[in-house]
Structure 1
Amino acid sequence: MDSRIRQHAETIVDHSVDLQEGDRVVIQVPKEAEDLAVALHELCGERGAIPIWLAHSQRASRAYLRAGGEEYETPDHQQALFEETDAFIIARGGPNVTETSDVPPENNAAYKRAVRPVQEERLSKRWCLTQFPTSGHAQLAGMSTEGYENFVWDAVSLDWEAQREFQAQMVDRLDAADEVRIVAGEETDIRFSIAGNPTLNDYAEKNLPGGEVFTSPVVDSVEGSVYFDVPLYRQGRKIEDVRLTFEDGEVVDHSAESGEDLLTEILNTDDGARRIGEFGVGMNRAIDQVTYNMLFDEKMGDTIHLAVGSAYKDTVGEGNERNESAEHVDMIVDMSEDSRIELDGDIVQQDGTFVFEEE
């Protein structure tokens, strides 16, 4: 076994989920990530935790979603398992990243609505989402298999305490601010309130790799237009050049150069899917290229992202409304040129450089 797989597992266990003796652990990884599952089980044995492995299959998911139509029952038996679980470890990876590309978007939206209570239960526990490098994701990223392995393991093995301290400077500024304005190029000028909503510092706990700070806009406060110039991959399909216009917090106009039908289905999932649930700032400069994997792409330095759909509970302050949805879809704006982030009218980042980097 590659020693970096053991190191990856140790980071998950000791840093991300802080595994303790007696913890009941669900390890959900595909068969292609069996080496990671083995390393995690070994560490569970050393720590006195109790693991169970759920082998996720995109082929099986595709078969179910294509056959199931637009009506699904909430899987209560899965929810019961999650209620009895202390920590979740989930790794992506697989041979074919486009496996679910021919699942009708309306089927996928219906399924997401059905499993929403299960996902809420999982998110209430300690959890970590990570990536195991496979040839399918390497091909999507335009890399050799070896090159992608190096990319992933370099990204998950940063000095996370140093990254936390760097990001904390932005957290402090966001927590002290009421209004955010994002300006980029000629098409993005959007503003919203974050008053009363706390900012979280992601330094590889729930996401591995980490490298962002994020909060939630006040639900009805989002105004303006935004052009997402970084493409995204969703449901096995690419969505490019997304443009959204907001009034009173809601998407009132949208378009995409490719994947617009899928974007429309996402926005029609439920009422909350037309509102922003997350505003994040990418601060991990070790991730410096688009790989069409949002776990990495949203952390890229010199970017911001907005997610249509659900807001994380921990990013909504007491007395503020939480946006709720079965969807949560992140979209990215490149902030490296002709751009700025303003907090209460003061520029905190200009063309990718934070003010605290110049102090």
Structure 2
Amino acid sequence: MDERIRRHAEILVEDCVEAEPGDMVEVNAPAVAEDLVVAIYEKLGEIGARPSLSWRHPRSSRAYDRAMDEDDYTLLDHRLAALEETDAYIGIRGSENVAETSDVPPENQTAARRANTEIQEQLADTRWVGTQYPAPGNAQKAEMSTAAYEDFVYRAVDRDWDEQREFQAQMVELLDGASEVRIVSGDETDLTMSVDGMIPENDADDANMPGGEVFTAPVPDSVEGTVHFDLPRMWRGEEILDARLTFEDGEVVEYSASQNEDALDEILETDEGARRLGELGIGMNRGIDQFTYNMLFDEKMGDTVHLALGRAYEENVGEDRERNDSSIHVDMITDMSEDSYIEVDGEIVQRNGTFTFEDGFEAEDDGTEPEATA
């Protein structure tokens, strides 16, 4: 077995979910990730944890969802019961065909997600981690050879996570206690939001592997302005390009996309909370240096920010602050590498992808400070 796979398993088991003797650990994976599952089971055996395995099979899921009636979806009680008895959860992604479920009726997928919101809430209360196995389908989508994609994945995963956490802690400190964030990129993105009373989190080797972001939640009704997501977003096998959203009083009031606008419409029409933002994320993993059509990696790129429509994470919502609720959480990305800056309480903390605490940071781009926000 490739020793990088064993190292991947070690990071997941020991660092991410911190498995202990006697822990009941669920491993959820596609068959293509069998080698990683074997390595994880080996590591769990060394610790004395108690694993269970659930295989994901996209062809079966496709067949089921295409046969189902939209009105017949109900909570999977047995799935919820299993999670309630689970101490730690390791979810593995990996595809032989990334578009396998692309022809499932969107209304069915939305209905299934709504019916099982309680499962997502239970998972959030469990020690969990999601990761990626470098499968051929994902390599193809990234327009890379399988070998090159393997190198990319393991380069992003096998890092000095203590050092990464310290690096990101500097951004957490800037956001901690802040009142307002402004994001400007080119001529099409100028967005402000209140983060007053919200809690920034440092995601290094925790719930995502790879990690590499600092994230918080906006005050739901505070978001104002327009954002252009200039990097693609895959949704149900469809590629949404050039999504543009305009917010007033925290809600999307106008939107467009140059490709698959109907998919963007589906996201926004999911429920009331889907038209508001639940997350502001700032990518900080310098080991991820190219876009691969995989949000687990793409949102962590060091020259990006991402905003999520829908559900806010509970850990980001301060006491006596409103939490945006939704059955979805859909991240979308803006490139911040050129003609861009992030402001926190009127002070520029990132310019053209370089943070104020990094070498090469320039507070001003053309000798003038940006106009003050309203």
TM bin (shorter chain): over 0.9
My pick for the range that moved more, 310-319 or 68-77, is 68-77
CA distance in 2, matches of 1:94, 1:357: 37
In the alignment, what sits opposite 1:103? 104
3-state SS in 2 of match to 1:138: helix
1:26 aligns with 2:26: yes
3-state SS in 2 of match to 1:284: coil
1:275 aligns with 2:276: yes
CA distance in 2, matches of 1:68, 1:318: 41
3-state SS in 1 of match to 2:34: helix
Deviation, 1:63, is 1.4
1:261 aligns with 2:230: no
Residues 75 and 115 in structure 1, CA contact (< 8 A), matched pair in contact too: yes
3-state SS in 2 of match to 1:356: coil
Count of matched residue positions in the alignment of Structure 1 and Structure 2: 359
The residue type paired with residue 159 of structure 1 is D
3-state SS in 1 of match to 2:221: coil
In the alignment, what sits opposite 2:129? 128
1:87 aligns with 2:93: no
1:17-45 deviations in Å (ceiling 9; x for gaps): 00111100000011111111111111111
**TM-score if structure 1 supplies the norm length?**
0.99
In the alignment, what sits opposite 1:356? 357
Report 1:1-359 matches (<5 A): 1-71=1-71, 72-358=73-359
Alignment gaps of 5+ in structure 1: none
3-state SS in 2 of match to 1:233: strand
CA distance in 2, matches of 1:97, 1:69: 24
3-state SS in 2 of match to 1:173: helix
3-state SS in 2 of match to 1:20: coil
CA distance in 2, matches of 1:41, 1:351: 43
3-state SS in 2 of match to 1:197: coil
Deviation, 1:61, is 1.5
The runs of at least 4 aligned residues of structure 1 exceeding 2 Å deviation read none
Alignment gaps of 5+ in structure 2: 362-374
1:327-350 deviations in Å (ceiling 9; x for gaps): 110000000110110011111111
1:269-288 deviations in Å (ceiling 9; x for gaps): 10011100000000011101
The residue type paired with residue 23 of structure 1 is D
CA distance in 2, matches of 1:336, 1:92: 28
CA distance in 1, matches of 2:299, 2:69: 32
Q: How large is the RMSD of aligned CA atoms in angstroms?
A: 0.9
Deviation, 1:69, is 2.9
The share of aligned pairs that are identical, in percent, is 59
**TM-score if structure 2 supplies the norm length?**
0.95
Residues 110 and 269 in structure 1, CA contact (< 8 A), matched pair in contact too: no
3-state SS in 2 of match to 1:107: helix
CA distance in 1, matches of 2:262, 2:65: 18
3-state SS in 2 of match to 1:258: coil
Residues 302 and 336 in structure 1, CA contact (< 8 A), matched pair in contact too: yes
3-state SS in 2 of match to 1:217: coil
The residue type paired with residue 46 of structure 1 is E
1:155-199 deviations in Å (ceiling 9; x for gaps): 100110100000000000011310000000000000000001110
1:89-118 deviations in Å (ceiling 9; x for gaps): 001002000011111211111111011100
CA distance in 1, matches of 2:64, 2:259: 26
In the alignment, what sits opposite 2:367? none
